[in-house]
Amino acid sequence: MDRARLIHAMADVVGPTYVISDPAELKVYEADGLTIFKATPDVVALPKSAVEVADVVRLCARERVPFVPRGAGTGLSGGALAVEGGVVIGLNRMNRVLEVDYANQRAVIEPGAINIWLTNQVSPDGYYYAPDPASQTACSVGGNVAENSGGPHCLKYGVTTNHVLALEIVLATGETIEIGSWTPDPPGYDLTGVFVGSEGTFGIVTKIVVRLLKRPEAVKTMLLVFETIADASATVSGIIGRGIIPAAIEMMDNLTIQAVEKGVHAGYPTDAGSVLLVELDGPRAEVEALAESVIAVGREHRMREVRVARDDAERTLLWKGRKAAFAAMGQISSAYYVQDGVIPRTQLLKILGEIDALSRHYGLRVANVFHAGDGNLHPLILYDDRVGGEVQKAEAMGAEIMQRCIAVGGSITGEHGVGFEKRDFMPLMYTPADLEAMAKVKRVWNPDGLLNPGKIFPTSKSCVEVSAAGKPGDIGYKPHRIELEGKAQRF
Ligand SMILES: Cc1cc2nc3c(=O)[nH]c(=O)nc-3n(C[C@H](O)[C@H](O)[C@H](O)COP(=O)(O)OP(=O)(O)OC[C@H]3O[C@@H](n4cnc5c(N)ncnc54)[C@H](O)[C@@H]3O)c2cc1C
């Protein structure tokens, strides 16, 4: 089917107003939050209902056109990019909270609804939705399901998969199914568990049943201030080592603090080497006792100062700094490349030291802001996108950071997904047999490979071994050359 006929056929399904084909308007859909890669779809369709999603999918399947679901486009691994062209299916118009059921602590929500909307709606009644990506004011719950998103409070409460009870899904054939259950442990295979985190390659989510939590009796938010990252890292291990699981422990280094203070004035001390944002919640008496223990651990590791939020306004301000940290990088750099490695917590100091060495080697600054409690690093590699070669340097450095994470027993992604960006790193973690086992599952859900192609799996063309310079762990060691194929281009 040629493009003109495809556009016409899409308009018959969703209405001409909700088909985007103008080249200038398509630019909105050519990248996600990563922005290093771009790929322009041939057309964007914006369905309003599961029935329309199914009709769009059936049309694509019949005409053998690739199709890619997209929520808010805040993803950080190129997951929503139409790397082989075709149709982007934007879920933004399906954005209602359909039902709230406090008696059963559940809500039913459409995929395009923004994460924070649910909490905003239920919080006057003392409830909230726990998974809270730092992007929660912008990202969609459908995108969260696809990426199995985490967030600062997922240390204690678990990531998205722990809060999704059931899903309505349009399969790659256009058929609609419902998986999961409102009641615990339904019989049969746990398809909800399989689906959550499948990065838009197993089907399109059109309805989500999520768990709601009751607000805890008390919340205490503290900023622990340190001269060095070493002391902050030791404090993180010390807190968890005592068996304390705070609701959140977020770490920020000095460069991040500088950016945050220029951007949102959260009141962080700009001369600190590192700060920990620690939040405790639960019954009041327990929170008070745990806070004393956390402060004691901090003191054991030369904590310079502790600031305890006295009210909601102060608490919000402390969190505003953390949640706006990525965006605040614009204050100190024209561009940044965010990485999402995971390491065992005990390796925090070693890896941060290695990142520092890589930063000096490549001549690129790195700001560290991350979920320290679960070892999920987010080094932000700052570069100047107006200087030729800098983006490639940032990418090479990012690849080396991933190497280091794997070398200490970690992983190439904690929450942002593999997507397009990291597919060539997969063989660093998995054997061909491991990958084939995953590919078999994908073929069951996505037999023709038309649904979100080019993601997660390395391709024979894209992943080429080259002779290694040095050995793993050396600065400059490059096990893989990454070649882009299809329509996607570097920024
Ligand atoms: C500043 C910033 C901070 C962030 N902080 C965090 C964080 O703390 N934790 C975290 O986990 N992530 C974080 N992210 C990454 C991102 O926000 C999450 O991955 C989020 O879940 C993506 O949602 P989205 O709606 O933007 O999805 P998109 O970017 O539109 O899509 C992401 C993937 O989901 C698929 N998809 C989208 N909707 C559907 C659907 N209805 N059905 C099937 N597949 C679908 C797409 O095909 C794609 O593969 C951050 C991003 C930014 C920019």
pLDDT tens-place string over residues 136-152: 999 999 999 999 999 99
pLDDT digits (tens, 9 = 90+) for 287-322: 999 999 999 999 999 999 999 999 999 999 999 999
The verdict on the CB of residue 416 being under 6 Å from ligand 1 is yes
Residue 42 in contact with ligand 1 by CB distance below 6 A: no
What is the radius of gyration, based on Cα positions, of the chain? 23
pLDDT tens for 217-262 read 999 999 999 999 999 999 999 999 999 999 999 999 999 999 999 9
Mean pLDDT of the chain: 92
- Judged against a pLDDT cut of 70, whether residue 475 lies above it is answered with no
Position 331 scores a pLDDT of 95
- Rounded to whole angstroms, the Cα distance separating 51 from 175 reads 10
| Ligand 1 and 415: CB distance under 6 A | yes
Q: Say if ligand 1 is within 6 A of residue 148 CB.
A: no
First vs last Cα of the chain: how many Å apart?
29
Ligand 1 geometric centre to CA of 66 (Å)? 20
* Interval 26-65: pLDDT, tens: 999 999 998 889 999 999 999 999 999 999 999 999 999 9
- Tell me if 453 CB under 6 Å of ligand 1: no
pTM confidence score: 0.92
Higher pLDDT pick, 462 / 160:
160
Q: From the CA of 74, how far away is ligand 1's center (Å)?
A: 5
- Distance (Å, rounded) from C-alpha 279 to C-alpha 360? 33
Give the pLDDT of residue 156.
94
**Is the model more confident about 12 or about 488?**
12
Tokens 């295979």 belong to residue: 189
Question: Is 134 near ligand 1, meaning CB less than 6 Å away?
Answer: yes
Task: Read off the pLDDT of each residue in 350-373 and give the average, rounded to a whole number.
Answer: 94
Entry field: residues in the chain: 491
* 170-181 mean pLDDT: 97
For ligand 1, say whether the CB of 74 is within 6 Å of any of its atoms.
yes
pLDDT over 50 at 485, yes or no: no
The predicted pLDDT at position 185 comes to 85
The average pLDDT across 104-108 equals: 97
Assign 179 to helix, strand or coil: strand
What are the b/e assignments for 356-376, b being 16+ CB within 10 Å? eebbeebebbbbbbbbbbbbb
**Residue 79: what are its φ and ψ, rounded to 5°?**
-65, -30
Interacting residues of 488 by C-beta distance below 8 A, sequence separation 6+: 37, 38, 39, 78, 81, 83, 420, 454
389: region left, alpha or beta (phi > 0 left; psi from -120 to 50 alpha): left
Q: Is the Cβ atom of 131 under 6 angstroms away from ligand 1?
A: no
What whole-number distance in Å separates Cα of residue 165 and Cα of residue 163?
Answer: 6
Q: How many angstroms is it from 294 CA to the middle of ligand 1? A: 32
- 3-state DSSP of 430-475: CCHHHHHHHHHHHHHHCCCCCECCCCCCCCCCCEEECCCCCCCCCC
Q: Is the pLDDT of residue 479 over 70?
A: no
Span 154-178, average pLDDT: 97
List, in sequence order, the alpha helices (H) in 206-333.
Answer: 229-241, 254-263, 284-300, 312-323, 325-328
Instruction: Please check the confidence at residue 119 and state whether its pLDDT lies above 60.
Output: yes
User: Which pLDDT score is estimated for 460?
Assistant: 61
State mean pLDDT over 260-267.
Answer: 94
In this prediction, residue 345 has a pLDDT band, given cuts at 50, 70 and 90, of: confident
Residue identifier of the C-alpha nearest atom 27 of ligand 1: 143
Q: Is 322 in the pocket of ligand 1 (CB under 6 A)?
A: no
> 184: pLDDT confidence band, cut at 50, 70 and 90?
confident
What's the rounded Cα separation, in Å, for the pair 149 and 133? 7
How large a percentage of the chain has pLDDT more than 70?
93
Minimum-distance ligand 1 atom for the alpha carbon of 417: 19
| CA angle (63, 458, 430) in 5-degree steps | 135
- The values of phi and psi at residue 124, to 5°, are -60, -25
Mutate to test the pocket of ligand 1, among 36, 77, 149 (most ligand atoms within 8 A of CB): 149
Instruction: Check pocket membership of 71 for ligand 1, CB cut-off 6 A.
Output: yes
Confidence (pLDDT) at 59: 97
* Contact yes or no for 453/178 (Cβ under 8 A): no
Average pLDDT on 170-193 reads 94
With a 6 Å cutoff on the Cβ, whether 397 touches ligand 1 is: no
Q: Whose CA is nearest to atom 18 of ligand 1?
A: 75
**CA of 70 relative to ligand 1 center, distance in Å:** 9
